Structure 1
C-alpha cells in the first residue's frame, strides 16, 4: 500500500514528510497538482486498485506521474469531468462494495461511466453546492475502519 500526496497551495512538502514519518510502513509519494486545490479534486480511489481520474490534460499528466512512481499497476476509470472524479469508495460489511459518485443531473456523461461499474452498489450524490467552492464529496466524509464485533 502507498500514499500519494498532492503538492498544491493546500499541502506542501513538509506535510508529506510528516505523513511519511507517521506511516513508516507505507510508501509516500508526492505528486504535483497542476490545477485545482487538491489531488482529490480530480483523482480518487474508486475501489481496491481502481483510480478514478478526470480527462483533462493536467489530471491525466498527474495520473501518469503516479503510475511512474508506483510499483503497483492500478486499473483506471476516466470520467469526462474532473470534478466528477471525486467519489467515495466504501467496503461495508452488510452492503459490500459501495461507491458514492456524482449525479446524472450534474455530470451526465461522467455518471454514465460510473454506471459501467457493475461490481459495486452505486449511490449518486449531489455535489452541486460544494462544487461552487471547489468542494467534493470527499470533503464531507470521514471514513472510519471499525472492526466488526466477533
Structure 2
C-alpha cells in the first residue's frame, strides 16, 4: 500500500469550455429522455464552476478552449485518471470521443506528469474501455464501476498503472457511471444516492475494502456527485448541487460541520448524464512550469 497523502489537496483544475455543439452528440441524455439543453445556461453554469474553483477555492485554473468538432469534450473527467505524478489517458467507450484526449495529454505533459496511455491493443479485439467518471479514488484505494462505458480490462489497466493502490471493481446499473451515484465528501466520507442500485453498489464496496468509511446518504441521485477539496489552511470546501436543483439534499450537506459549502449548478450538463465532477480534472502539482 502506498503512503497515503491527505485526500483532497489539489493545486490545479483543468477544464474544457462548453462548445456551441453542446448537446448535439447522441449520448446519455437522449437515451434517458431528458429535455433539451440550454447552451447559454450551460455556459453560465460552467463559468460559475470555474469561478468557484479559481476564486473561492484558490486553484490554478487551466482552461482548454472548446472544440465544436468534439461536442462532449467538456466532459473532461472521462479522458484521464490522475493520481500523484501519474496521468492515465483513458479510452472512452465511444470511439468518436477518443480524440478528446489529445489536448488533455498536452496539458498534463506540460505539468510534467508521467503520462500512461491506454492503447487500442489493450484487451484484445473488443479493447479496454475506461472513463474517469467510473473511477472513484478515496485517497486509499480505487473503486472502478463496471458499466456500459467501462469494462474489466479497463479496470485492469488502471490497476497496472497505479500499482501502489488496491483497485476493486463494482457493477453499476441503469446506465449510470459510478460517480453518478457516489463521490467523496471528505477524506473518509462517501456521499451516495439513496436508490436501490446505489445501495447495492455501496454494500459491495464495503465488502471489498478493509477501511471504514463514513457514509452520507442523499435522497436525490444528482446530489450524490460532489467535489471535495481541502484548501489552504486545511479549509474543507464542498461543491454540491444547489437547493433549486436538489432541494431535499441540502440539509444532508449541512451536517458536514466546519465545511465551506459552495452550491454549484449543473442542470444542463446533468441532462446529458454528466455530473459536477465531469467538468474538471483536479491535480496536485507543486512544481510546474505554469
CA deviations over 1:35-67 (Å, ceiling 9, x no partner): 233100010011101000000000011001000
Question: Is 1:54 matched with 2:203?
Answer: no
1:45 maps to 2:184? yes
1:21-40 to structure 2, matched below 5 A, reads 21-40=160-179
Whether the 8 Å CA contact 1:6–1:39 is kept in 2: the answer is yes
Cα separation, 2, equivalents of 1:148 and 1:116 = 36
Query: Match of 2:240?
Result: 101
- Cα contact 1:7–1:32 (8 A) shared by 2: yes
Counterpart Cα distance in 2 of 1:148 and 1:123: 28
The Cα shift of 1:131 comes to 0.9
**Which residue in the other structure is 2:210 paired with?**
71
Residue 122 of structure 1 corresponds to which residue in structure 2?
261
Which of the numbers 73, 82, 95 marks the counterpart of 2:221? 82
Given that residues 193 and 219 in structure 2 are in contact (C-alpha distance below 8 angstroms), is that contact kept between their aligned partners in structure 1?
Answer: yes
Contact 2:148-2:175 within 8 A present in 1 as well: no
Give 1:96 shift. Answer: 1.4
Indicate the structure whose relative CO is greater, using CA pairs within 8 Å and at least 6 residues apart.
Answer: 2
The answer to whether residue 137 in structure 2 is matched with residue 3 in structure 1 is no
Task: List gaps (5 residues or longer) in structure 2.
Answer: 1-139
- Rounded to whole Å, the distance in 1 between the matches of 2:152 and 2:287 is 36
Shift in Å at residue 82 of structure 1?
Answer: 1.3
1:10·1:37 contact (CA, 8 Å) conserved in 2? no
d(CA) in 1 for partners of 2:221, 2:207: 21
- The aligned residue for residue 286 of structure 2 is 147
- Is 1:111 the counterpart of 2:250 in the alignment? yes
The structural deviation recorded for 1:95 is 6.3
The 8 Å contact of residues 53 and 78 in structure 1, kept in 2 or not, is answered as: yes
Structure 1 segments of 4 or more deviating over 2 A? 146-149
Which of these residues, 3, 8, 13, is aligned with residue 152 of structure 2?
A: 13
TM-superposition CA deviations, 1:70-128 (whole Å, max 9, x none): 00000000000111101000111256111100100001111121112122111000011
Shift of 1:27: 0.2
For structure 1, list consecutive stretches of 5 or more residues without a partner in the other structure: none
**Distance in 2 between residues matched to 1:34 and 1:46, nearest whole Å:** 22
Q: Compute the RMSD of aligned alpha carbons.
A: 1.5
Determine which structure has more spread, i.e. the larger CA radius of gyration: 2
Take 1:125 and 1:109, find their aligned partners in 2: how far apart are those partners? 15
More strand by share: 1
Q: TM-score, normalised by structure 2?
A: 0.50
